[in-house]
A and B are shown apart, each in its own frame.
Chain A
Amino acid sequence: MNNCELRINRVATLECARPLRHALGAFLSALEVDSVLCEDVLTAVGEALANVLEHAYKGRESGIVELYAREGDKKKLFVTVRDHGEYIVRDENPGRGFGLPIVRAIAQSVRVNSTGGTHVQMTFDTTKSSAVLQLTLAEMMRQS
């Protein structure tokens, strides 16, 4: 299944996150990604999308949000969410700011590039529910 790709561009409205998640979910199903990891990938990507929809084009004409996904070698899954809007350094709304920590907890690696908009590049290990395992290990270490 290597070299499968998903590429979708949509106008960044609040309502576009759901169909983008569904499209990615269908792509992950086609790749036979573990169901728990599939949910977690959709959660992480959903956070990146929510960040775009909330911040990237705030106070200006709405632009495009781009979703790109592909399966790489060694069972890696690469997903990029990109906008051409304003990069937000941190969320100043009380009670917010959970998005990136959630992405970082789930993805094997996360790179944020703020040149010409924001690119959030996420890499996932599709061989196991790695995020769940990492959390379990982290909790065990905290408790010991």
Chain B
Amino acid sequence: MLTQSSINIIKVAGELDIARREEVRLALQVDGPGQGILVDFVEVTYTDSTIIAEVLRFYKDAHAAGRRIAILIESPRFERILQYAGLSGVFPIFKDRAQALSYLMQEGA
């Protein structure tokens, strides 16, 4: 059974644009099979499509490794850019940390 302490947490903050793409790419790495991963974007204030592309690549890598991810956000801005990019509903997005952790701890996560 997974516990909260067994979940990996990746936290990124600030304005995420093309200047920080490499930093985000390095942060969003899947190190093989394992537990769920919480991507904490609560303190992210801006995202451009170069970062969305990295999140998409990370999501595919995690899926291929059999790992579940949850993206935690606070501002609706991130969801809007996904809508505009035609990626609405692709990522599991949560505004509540407890719900995100619960999702990651579900059976099969």
Task: Give the B-binding residues of A (Cβ under 8 A).
Answer: 14-15, 17-18, 21, 39-40, 42-43, 46-47, 50, 53-54, 93, 95-96, 98-99, 101-102, 105-106, 131-132, 135, 139
| B96 within 8 A of partner (CB) | no
Given the contacts A17-B18, A46-B48, A131 and B84 also touching, CB distance less than 8 Å? yes
Contact yes or no, B84 A102, CB < 8 A: yes
Number of interface residues of B (CB under 8 A): 21
Contact yes or no, A46 B84, CB < 8 A: no
Contact yes or no, B46 A46, CB < 8 A: yes
Q: Which of B48, B50, B53, B86 is the one whose CB lies under 8 Å from A43?
A: B48
Nearest neighbor of A16 in chain B, beta-carbon distance: B19
Given the contacts A15-B19, A17-B17, A98 and B46 also touching, CB distance less than 8 Å? no
Task: Give the A-binding residues of B (Cβ under 8 A).
Answer: 15, 17-19, 46, 48-50, 52-53, 56-57, 77, 80-81, 83-88
Please measure, in the bound complex, the distance between the C-alpha atom of A19 and the C-alpha atom of B92, giving whole angstroms: 31
Smallest CB-CB A-B distances: 6 pairs = A105-B84, A98-B49, A14-B19, A98-B85, A95-B53, A102-B84
Contacts of A53 in B (CB 8 A): 18
Contacts of A46 in B (CB 8 A): 17, 46, 48
Nearest neighbor of A131 in chain B, beta-carbon distance: B84
Q: Which of B46, B77, B84, B88 is the one whose CB lies under 8 Å from A101?
A: B84
Q: Which of A93, A102, A131, A139 is the one whose CB lies under 8 Å from B85?
A: A102
21 sampled A-B residue pairs with Cβ under 8 A:
A14-B18, A14-B19, A17-B17, A17-B18, A17-B48, A18-B19, A21-B15, A21-B46, A39-B77, A43-B80, A43-B84, A46-B17, A93-B53, A95-B53, A95-B57, A96-B53, A99-B48, A102-B49, A105-B83, A131-B84, A139-B88
